[in-house]
Amino acid sequence: MSKNSKKWPERKKIGKNLPGYPEGTSRAAGKCPLPERPGSAVRIAGKLNFPFFLSGIQGKQHTMDSIFDANGRFIRYPELRSAVAERISLEMTDPEVEEFRNLRQMTFSQLEHFDPMSPGPRNIDADVDPDEENSADEVSFKRNKGHAPKRYHYSIGKYEESTYYCQFLSDKLVRSPSGRNVTVREMTEHLSLKPLSTFRVWFRVPLYKVVEIADRFISEGWIGLSQHCRSLDRLQIKSELLVMGALAMIGGSVRSFRQMHTVTQIGATEHSNFFLLFVEKMAGLSDEFIHLPRTPADLFQVMEHYEEVGLPGAVGSVDVVHVRWANCPAGDFNRSKGKESYPSLAFQCITDIDRKILGVFGPQFGSQNDKHIVKLDPNVHEIGNGWYSEIEWNYYAEDGEVCTETGVYLICDNGYLCWPSTICPYMRSESRGTRLEDLFSTNIESVRKDVECVFGILKSRWGCLDRGFKHRKMKVCGDIFRMCAVLHNMMLSEMVRDDTASRLHRGQHLANDGMWLEGPTEMSESVPGNEDTRKLKQEFDRRRTLLAHHLKVWREKNK
């Protein structure tokens, strides 16, 4: 005999003639029969029904007490459910429970007068002092929602124990190399002025620049107080740590935001969000730090430096730099792959002889050449057609007479169009030739190396440009380059130009070394029907010739 047959010998007759039940009872009647033996339970159709020694309660409203006190042998399930629901509702509306449920909605004055042992429900609105300030706002309460998950994985004040703070920003007294007792911050501020100091290696800028940037973010309201930073002193420290973290990422000292928590005690999520904010806001300062000369006095000051090297009327050097796009989307791969073997973004920069960036245009896809980009650059268009085209400057004619020319220009390599506002060297010139064209090309190629030096400084100082952009959005990549240009101009006061004589043949220029396009740039024949191109080419040849003659006469007069 099976296990089930032992327990239920008459399984097929469930609901009929069971021991302890009257005959004729069944489940179809909607009643649960009770066993005659107290404390027993009966399994009917696979469900366990616990015994209730009562039944036959009349009426719609039923309570647990009335059910258990009733006399009878049967009970309906709806009656039991309604009784249980009513009992639960009474427990939820218990005055004592309601009293403690309102604790989080009480004001400070209400908590002082709170008495959990007082009888009856308590109305929190009745305890509000009418003379209390902002009472109207305090009495309008809303039921608080559940706690949101913690966004930051650090506690308030913990970042004061971070490595960056203890090593560079702490107020702890230490002994300086000179023997005086100074704070860690004061010693860092002094040592960070040296280019090879530990602080400059980590963050590429001195400490006072970090403080200036942090103060700018606080004053502009780009970063403010929060529930994790509730005082201005802590906000100042936190903002400096965030700025230092962003500079470390840009400079390449740190490769991942997940490494930031170890040195700043600030979560990787907050560092990542602040990095995007830092890039956006610093790139937005490009109009303040990156611009062409805005007044004739500023323009003549720039032209004076070029006149000293035999190029009167020049206002800057222009060239295009390509930066690798490491996370280039697949849809932009082909049009981003130009002269390099990898996808890149192109930026056209205008710099002066003091390595200051005067204009940035881009980004453009790496497949675009210099001739195409220069047509779209508004800075070059402004120099050729704006108020710069009305500026007069003097030069030496072939016979030594002083003449006047109108309109300034930029110097460039042979990859640009032949415009009077973009003067390039002669084609097929020799670096050690004695011809007039060779002398002029040698001079202009040596002067325009400043723009190449700026590109080298940008990529060596900011590792994000050397390794390539790690973002997929083209706008973010453009903002990163502008941000680096802004920081470059902010650091011009810390750059020291070495005027010592270089070693023999060191850095000797190569004729036409800026040329990377195949085929000659100068058109031997004008395009038929293109009168504007023909006029620009004629004006370009005339201006370059007079500049070449000026250089020859100028060198003879300054021997």
User: Tokens 């370059």 appear where?
Assistant: 544
| CA dist., res. 345 & res. 325, Å (int) | 6
pLDDT tens for 361-393 read 999 999 999 999 999 999 999 999 999 999 999
pLDDT at 137 (0 to 100): 46
Q: Give the integer Cα–Cα distance in Å for 348 and 538.
A: 25
What sign results for the dihedral spanned by CA atoms 124, 127, 130, 135? negative
What contacts 239, CB < 8 A, 6 or more positions away?
Answer: 214, 217, 218, 223
171-220 pLDDT, tens digit each:
999 988 888 899 999 999 999 999 999 999 999 999 999 999 999 999 99
Cα gap 265→161, rounded to integer Å: 8
The larger pLDDT score, comparing residue 111 to residue 243, is at: 243
Determine the average pLDDT of the residues in 53-75: 51
DSSP at 489: H
* The residue type at 233: D
CB 297 within 8 A of CB 291: no
Instruction: Give the model's pLDDT for residue 526.
Output: 39
8 A C-beta contact, residue 421 and residue 407: yes
- Band of pLDDT at residue 124, cut at 50, 70 and 90: very low
Contacts of 312 (CB under 8 A, 6+ apart): 303, 306, 393, 394, 395, 547, 550
Please answer whether residues 408 and 388 qualify as being in contact, where contact means their C-beta atoms are separated by less than 8 angstroms. Answer: yes
In the chain the first and final C-alpha atoms are separated, in Å, by 127
Confidence grade of residue 456 (pLDDT, cut at 50, 70, 90): very high
10 Å CB burial of residue 349 (0-12, 13-18, 19+) is buried
Examine the pLDDT at 17 and tell me if it is beyond 70.
no
Nearby residues of 471 by Cβ (< 8 Å), 6 or more positions away: 327, 477, 480
pLDDT at 477 over 70: yes
Percent of the chain with pLDDT over 70: 70
Highest average pLDDT, of 128-142, 362-376, 430-444, comes from 362-376
Q: Is 20's pLDDT higher than 70?
A: no
pLDDT grade, residue 147 (50/70/90)?
low
For 403-466, give the secondary structure using H, E and C. Answer: EEEECCEEECCCCCCCECCEECCCCCCCCCCCCHHHHHHHHHHHHCHHHHHHHHHHHHHCHHHH
Q: Tell me the C-alpha to C-alpha distance, in Å, between residue 414 and each of 367, 381, 410, 523.
A: 18, 19, 13, 12
Nearest in space to 448 (alpha carbons), one of 353, 358, 548: 353
Contact of 472 with 343, CB cutoff 8 Å? no
Banded model confidence at residue 118, pLDDT cuts 50, 70, 90:
low
**321, two tokens:** 């730099």
359, HSE (Cβ side, Cα atoms, 13 Å): 21
Which of 380 and 141 is assigned the larger pLDDT? 380
Average pLDDT rounded to a whole number, residues 88-103:
69
Asked if the bond preceding 195 is cis, omega within 30° of 0, the reply is: no
Going by pLDDT thresholds of 50, 70 and 90, the confidence category of residue 314 is very high
pLDDT tens digits, one per residue of 80-89: 788 888 877 7
